[in-house]
Every structure is written in C-alpha cells, then in structure tokens.
Amino acid sequence: MSEDKRIHVLMVSMSLQGHINPMFKFAKHLLSKGVHVTIATTEDGRDGMLKNTKPSNLTKSTNINNSHNSNNDSGIDLVFFSDGLDLDFDRSDTESLVNTIRENGPKNLSTLITDLTKVHNYSCVIVNPFVPWAIDVVVEHGIPCALLWIQACAAYSIYYRYLKNINPFPNMDDLDEKVHLPGLPPFEVRDSPSFILPSTPYHFRTVIRELFQAMDKVSWVIGTSCYEIEEEIVNSMASLTPIYPVGPLVSPFLLGEKERSDVSVDMWIPEDSCIEWLETMPDSSVIYVSFGSLLSLSQKQVGNIAMALKNSNKAFLWVIKPCKGESNNVAELPVEFLEETKVRGLVVKWCPQEKVLMHPSVACFVTHCGWNSTLETLVTGVPVIAWPFWSDQATNAMLMEKVFRNGVRVKYGEDGIVETEEIERCIKDVTEGPRAEELKKRAMKMKELARKTLQEDGTSNKNINKFITELIVGNPARA
C-alpha cells in the first residue's frame, strides 16, 4: 500500500507496562497488514519506550528529535502527552494519578491530536480502557473511536452486565454470594473484577463506571483474548455489544513463529542469566514464581513462600522485583533459605518472562493472574498456580480454574495471607498430585487452541482483517 493511501491509526494509553504492551502487540499486527500506527502515551514512560520504538517527528508538541531513533526500528511512531504530574512524581499514588490525568489529560491529548491531524487523516483512534476520558476527546475531533479491551472477554461481560444493569447481581458486599451470568459458570462475588466491588477505592470504581458510560460512543470493541478459549462468553455478548477478539496478543515467538525483534516495555532490566540457569535444569522440574510489575508482597507472605519452596524440595526460579519508592519496605529473604536452596533455586529481580515460560524446564507458573501473564501461560502450555490480588485477577483465576482448567488456585487465610501449607498443597497438586497429568493435558489443549487463532484462517486473524476493511470503507461494526 503506497504511503499516501495507507490507513492511519492512533492508539492512546497510559505508559503502565501491562497497559502499553498490548497496544504494541496489536500495533504490530496492524503494521504487518499495511496500516500506519502512532501510539500516544504519557511522558513518564518516554525513556523506557524509546529503547524499542522510533519517535515521531510529526509534531513539535512531543519534544522528540531524531537523535532518539532506535536501532531496533519497530515501524511505530511514538508521541507523548503530559498526565499533569511531574516526571519524578511517585505514580504508585494511584488516586493522584487517576484524578490528575482525568483533569489534565483531555486538554493535553486534544492538543496532540490537533497537531497530528495536520499531517495525517486518522481513520480511527484506539483507546485503552483506563483512559475513558479519551473517548470524548476523540469524538470531539470527529474521529471514529475503538476500545482495545486489555482484559479477558469474561471481565468485559461482567463489567458490562453489572454497570449497564443488564442482569441481576447479588449483594456485592457478600463475597461468598453466587453470581449467575450467561456464558460463564457460576462464580462467587469475590471472583468479580474488583473495580465493581464496594470495598474498592472510589477512584478505581469511577474510572470503570465512566468507561461504560461512554461505551455508546465507541464504534469497535476489540479484545486481546481469542474466541476459541472464551467462545461461550464472546457469543453471550453478541446481542448486547459485540467484542471482537484479535489475540492472543503475545510476542510472535510464543506462537511458534521465527524469533524476531519485538516491541515491548520492561520496567526493569531482565536478568538473562536465569535462562542459562534453566538450561542446567531437567525438563518440567522448575517452579516459576512471579507476581508481575506492580505488586509487592509483605514480609510474612514472602516468608511463607520461601518456606513452601524450601519444603517442596523442587527447583525454583523466583522473581522478587525492586520496589520503586519503597526501599525501606522491601521484603527480605531469610538467610538460611538462600543458603539451603542455593543448589536448586535462583532468585532474581526481573526476568524475560516469555523466554522463561517457553523453556522446557519450567513445570508450573505461580502467577498473580494478570491478563498478559495469563495469555502467555495459555500459549506456552504451562500449568498454573493462580494467586490473584486485585482488578481482573480474581476473574482470570476463576477462568483458569473453571473454564480453561489449566491450574489450581490458592486459598487465602482470614488475615489475607496464603499460608505455607496451602502453597505446598498447590505445588504438589500441579506437579505430582493425582490431578497433575490432567492439568498438563488441559494446558497443552489451551496452547493448541490459542496458537491456531492467529493463523490465516483463524478467528483472530479474520477479526483483524474485518476491522481493517471497516476502516477502509468507513463502516464501523456498531454504526
């Protein structure tokens, strides 16, 4: 497609790792089909993202010059707008972040779009769910808007049905109450996305409420999941507001494609030495433990995990990330634990997770159930120990336990801590108990389904092609 006839798409997201990476993944699919993509994100993520992308020189408001060009040219233009906070502000203060970007983001994004549209006509702006105010900005500029839903289709269904009052829900203060919704097995209130629970901070509940209030202005809802693994859920939404899965949005080499340069953001530098260490371990022998880029564990919880790993007598790779702004509160590992497990254990600050999950020595993944990690688990066929904390993670854990059936789930104690014995139980169940072989077979089944969907005749590839066709003819799916 010639440059002057190319379709131009703008994507908008905050720069949080779990938010921006799905945008990059979808952008690469669009690029491969001749679509020009620009990603607009907040300035606090500038340094990390310029390692893997080429900055745009389309607009002076980005304050980027060509000296930032990366040797790893992704083909994506990257531009920035201010979230209203100083760059050195601690964005773990989520209330200040959410409130400030809601106040300042619309004006700053609008200015950026005005500058960008002097150079290109955009057929669509694709927004992240957690910048709902961006939808009104896009509509005011007269550009069709799409939503890239970066969680499971199940979470989308639950949010939509609850916030639009489509289905009756029980008392949401009672976490033990059962919820019955089309396309989903019965689940407890505690398995709902936490942003609709009364106990969740107001600013989080506000973000998701404002998103679904604005949904009537969205022309496409695009999901990072895939139809084959959430078939009943996707079908159940068809008559309400369809979601078109285009995933799993993961790195190409996880899908069996030839390894090539990919686009992603890492908040910390991965320690590649862990891959060399995995090479020394037997197949299906290592317990991989990682709780994502945001969560930090208490000292007691770290101690319980350490004891369980020690008692398991199994090899393990444990990621304990550094805590930004919390240097005095980082949980410490018992000295005797490190000494007693040094032959069979490795503790690192961060690792290249996709490469780890692809490694044959990994037997199971102890995960916080973030959706990106869940997708990576599905496409690599690794059984899981689901350990959810907040947001959509409990819903993902429910899916892994009841729908995908590729793992077991930890049970919290009354004090909100998972006890050592419970961790040991889950490790045994997944690696050597009576259910271990069944869980491995289900994990491999999910891998097979997830990998097929992006092939030429796969449902996700067809949905991507359909989206691009509708951009060309100007006929949105929900028009």
Q: Out of 24-28, 61-65, 438-442, which region has the weakest mean confidence (pLDDT)?
A: 61-65
Tokens of 449: 């389904």
This prediction has a pTM of: 0.90
Q: How many CB atoms lie within 10 A of CB 376?
A: 22
Quick: pLDDT tens for 98-132: 999 999 999 999 999 999 999 999 999 999 999 99
Asked if 27 and 55 count as a contact pair (C-beta separation under 8 A), the reply is no
Cα 468 from Cα 426, distance rounded (Å): 44
Report pLDDT for 124. 97
Question: Which amino acid, 198?
Answer: P
Report pLDDT for 57. 46
Q: What is the mean pLDDT of residues 129-150?
A: 97
Query: What confidence category does residue 66 fall into, taking pLDDT thresholds of 50, 70 and 90?
Result: very low
- Going 164 to 168 to 174 to 180, the CA torsion angle's sign is negative
- Give percent of the chain above pLDDT 90: 71
Complete domains list, the chain, with CATH: 3-247+453-473 (3.40.50.2000), 265-451 (3.40.50.2000)
Query: What confidence category does residue 74 fall into, taking pLDDT thresholds of 50, 70 and 90?
Result: low
Query: What confidence category does residue 92 fall into, taking pLDDT thresholds of 50, 70 and 90?
Result: confident
Answer yes or no: is pLDDT of 138 > 80. Answer: yes
Quick: pLDDT tens for 273-316: 899 999 999 999 999 999 976 677 888 999 999 999 999 999 99
Report the mean per-residue pLDDT for the chain: 88
Cα 251 from Cα 454, distance rounded (Å): 12
Query: Token match 């690792």: residue?
Result: 351
Length, in residues, of the chain: 479
Angle between helices 94-116 and 133-140 (to 10 degrees): 20
Residue 112's H or E segment, with its range, is helix 94-116
